[in-house]
Structure 1
Amino acid sequence: MKNYIILYLTIVSVFSFDCYSQKSKLASADKKYDNYSYIDAIKTYERVAEKGYKSVDMFQKLGNSYYFNADLEQSAKWYGELFAMTSEVQPVYYFRYSQSLKVIGENDKANEMLKKFSELSADDSRGDLFLSNVNYLDAIKNNSGRYTVENAGINSKYSDYGTAVTLNKIVFTSARDTGSLGQRKHTWTDQHFTDLYVADLDEEMNPGVVDKFDKTVQSKFHEATPTFTKDGKTMYFTRNNYLEGKKGKNANKVTLIKIYKATLENDQWVNITELAFDSDNYSTAHPSLSPDEKTLYFASDMPGTLGQSDLFKVEINEDGTFGTPINLGNTINTEGRESFPFVNDENEIYFASDGRPGIGGLDIFVSKINEDGTFNKVDNVGSDVNSSKDDFGYWIDTKSRKGFFTSNRDGGQGYDDIYKFLELKKLTCEQKLYGKVTDLDTKQALPGAKVSLFDNRFNSITEVMSDSNGDYAFKVECGKTYNVRAEKIDYTTKEETITTGKVNGKTELNIALEKEQCKVAIGDDLGICFGIKMIYFDLDKSNIRKEAAFDLEKILDVLLQYPTMKLDIRSHTDSRASFKYNEDLSDRRAKSTISWLVKNGVNLDRLTGKGYGETQLVNKCSDDVDCTEAEHQMNRRSEFIITAL
């Protein structure tokens, strides 16, 4: 990651080969590195471009160098030069150019670029058509067929709902008649007030004999929907506004419901207290703990609610106090009822809603919770679990894919019934997007590289650092296009586009980063810094062509920056044509190259040169050997060997 221009040029008198970041300690470095220099390719490109030379590759590199360093005024300049030359570029350049144009106030042109980007990079449009046409039944159909569902075997003719699992036991809510003379009925439902009940679970998560939960939790009114910490020693649960024999009421004389906390001591639930954000004037209910037990999710109609009831979350502080409740927002909540949240250890939130397109009544929906607390799109879990009636109270064990939910669907045993399920196929198709960050030249792993993940429209999703082996990984969706950016100090930032596989599995994307500094020493070929393999001349001629002048400008710029540098310019041919002809032609071309550099300001005493013809072939392609054109091309090369620094 860089806070300055991607490449920079500096001469150093001493330098540690293995640690480029220790510039402050140069004075104590080993003297054997006195003759290294670092060539700033980007600065050279910029000076060459200012002379009027044009190249698509050069303008892309210049634009990128400023874009990745947030100097968007300069990136607008060079991307403008790029688009003045060609529109045949990757879609990402339309996006980058649009962002750069906005900075300099050219909003109309920026919108044109963004529109073009959208046209070129849009994913399959059926997702958007689904939303715009509200063709939700097809989506529900696609999500169906993923469960086997059966009666849980713990139901009564009354209302049974709201399951939680703790320490191999299922705890649930029931209004069943236990034969107690003191059991009372709620006048609104003609059902008995609910209490908590418990049953052991076997290895297959089948409930055993049902018994009443701890009597110390019971009151004259409703207890329901508990959630437990992993150690089973803390419980949050729903109860009518009733504590220590006192019943609370709102301004309309109605007793609402609140969330309470209890702790387990000596096998009894004690210290029952209402939570700090509870109120007599609104309800809080159906708590669910996050996997790390630092956040409590719940339903409420407290001020700030978007609909009849919304889902909220609240931070649990280390000292046991609570933060301020936060509405989960309109990605989750609607103008209808959202209730019964459950968050699993894969950071998925399941909840019931009647404000979204569904099959009928309350349906169960799911959304992925991102690391930054935002939510992915909300999906209906399908018609196996959802019905035309109310379906809610979903709970799943992510290892076995077994769980429970509640429904008052036809064919049940009572008012509400608890059903057991096995999820045969996950709703969300997931891919592991992974790879290794390496040095382009040495192939060595690069630990500590920042790897950022963006969606297909370059919205930031998340970022990680490559580990000690240079490895990185993201959990992503199947069949989606992502952009992955890798950056590390002293390396040029690189961005790759990848589309993940369409089924659950893995997608590999390795990223090789190029050193942003080109290190050279006496005996090295300066042309390698700029990818110069050959200075091009017209056939059988030795005059400098326009393409050759563009490459020579790079060499010229370095020579002007380093007045003590000397070069030996070597020209080579392949073995075709006669030995004498190749020798003479290559010698004329070497001398033409020297002449061009001298004409443009380099002293002749800094330059030597010779044509070697076909005497220094780099492969087998000598006379009478059958070779491909590509193999012959390897021998046609120009070299700029550094003889002095």
Structure 2
Amino acid sequence: MKLKKILFPILLLCFFMADAQTASIKNADKKYDSYAYADAIKAYEKLVEKGVREERIFQRLGNSYYFIGELKDALKYYQELFSINENQEADYLYKYAQCLKSEGNYTKADEILEKFSQKAPSDKRVVLFLKNRNYLEDIKSNSGRFDIADAGINSKDSDYGSTILDNKLVFTSARDTGSIIKKNFKWTNKAISTLYAVDLNPDGSIGKPMLFHKQNLQVNFNQSTPVFTKDGKTMYFTRNNSVDGKRKQNENKVTFLKLYKAVLINNEWKEVQELPFNSDEYSVAHPALSVDEKTLYFASDMPGTLGLSDIYKVSILSNGGFGAPENLGPEINTEGRETFPFISDENELYFASDGRPGLGGLDIFVSKITKECTFDEVQNVGEPINSKQDDFAFIINSKNRNGFFSSNRVNGHGLDDVYRFTENRRLICEQQISGTITDQETNETLSNVALILFDEAGKTAVEAKSDANGNYVFSNVKCGKKYYIKTAKEDYLFKEVSITLKKATGSASLPIALEKKPKPITAIPVVIKTNNSIKPVKVTIAVGTDLGKLLKIPMNFFDLGKATIKKSSVPQLQKMVDMLNQYPTIKVDIRSHTDSRSSSESNQILSDKRAQSTKDWLVSKGINADRLTAKGFGETQLVNKCADGVKCTEQQHQQNRRSEFIIVSL
């Protein structure tokens, strides 16, 4: 009886403790799910202090610190998480690697990224990592191009997201304004941010930061990252979702970010209106304007986003309306965070990303926007702009190469700080390829030789011709890539040579020697089958002759998308066997071509397989392998206009799907 009296209170106490713990976890989860990460951290850490070691708690603690940019603390909890259970979802591996980078542990980070690549092989971040294993070397080659300094405007709180208006720097700050009532932002539990401005004096000095007085804007909500039209009369900016001065929440009591537009009237910002593609269910933030001010770029996690946040663009219509938002696609966006876009006067897109190979946290990247509105190669701008922490909100004056960016790097004043910089060396890395064309036998220089330069993807870059002295030049060729040059001149054999350029601005020499076409051998009798009868035919053949055309063999021996010779093609290919047996000194280069459908990479692979399959078949019929070479050309040598995006008939596409048997030696 006494034992029962002792056990009952103990069991009752354990029940209440378990019930209290469950309630504490639910309360922490509620804060986490509503993006109140600072409060969620406090709640989860109290549970950890009490000895709770649930896997999900460490997942959410790591994520909470990660999302507010405190990667050192995030690393601590991700390490705890992986000590509890190494078998985590792929995204935890990626965040763990990013946090390791923030501590400078790139070796361990790359080991984790290798595991990440096995878990999520199709993830864009995996593709970029595997393609750029030497990313630290690439970043190093892009580094050292900037002189940076503290902007002179920072406080102990968060300062970030600057832009220029009338020789003033307008930026975002959560500094203490001296108000008796202070409002906090639940994401970080730090003060609400608003807009400040500071004079940029002609002598390079900076004035005293003041509230951005030219505003008739609500200051009881976060507002940030403005961008102004060139005439200074229209402003787009980011603000918490609100209606009539009141915060607006979705059904889960979450307040997202929205974009707003304001017009300058009588020196005050009025007619504030939210943009039509905002939503109560997702965030739209950080606007940027195109050079012609007809396109607005922004970051969002709206439906259709590839990752945590993507960069979008939307047309600004002449009537003041807006088109439909367009995702910039996988050329720019990843499964990570892409945010804080900026368009320079040279039509370059600068943006921050943690989804691409970088130094840690958000890094700043740049890509040139082409005339076709596509994006050129994305490059990391390097140190010292980028660091092991979050670096973002980059802007630059294209004329004087001065600008500003934001970062939460160590030794700053507050959570985020604004830095100023001068770019002293452009990122654009170009080489000049030049050389002399000569006759291989006589060493005589050859003029008027046609040349085509193209990259590894088989895309034509530029055409040129050798001058009177046999010299040729390809200027403004991108560094660090492999290129091919094809030549063409009457009475000379076609030739293809390759060159891999260094990752440094300069010049590269590539002399090319051409071989003359041999004189044709005439009147060689060839016996071929025609209409089930044997008919001797006298023809003229030489090096360069296509035996396939000579023997009237159909160009295509394969079903669409396959590399196995069709049974119906065997009788036709037997003609080639008979021909090669009849003339045992002839050597042939088997060349396979595809049409432009499917990707250039898959077409190259398919044509390689088809050429090799044809060679293997001939060898199986007794033809010596030393007499045969095989190469696929993919879609690089189309015989008609049917390139990517061109509408063609099936018959026109079939003209490009062909095999050739070119005599290379008699």
TM-score by length of 1: 0.50
Which structure is higher in RCO with an 8 Å CA cutoff and minimum separation 6?
1
Q: Report which of the two structures shows the higher radius of gyration computed on alpha carbons.
A: 1
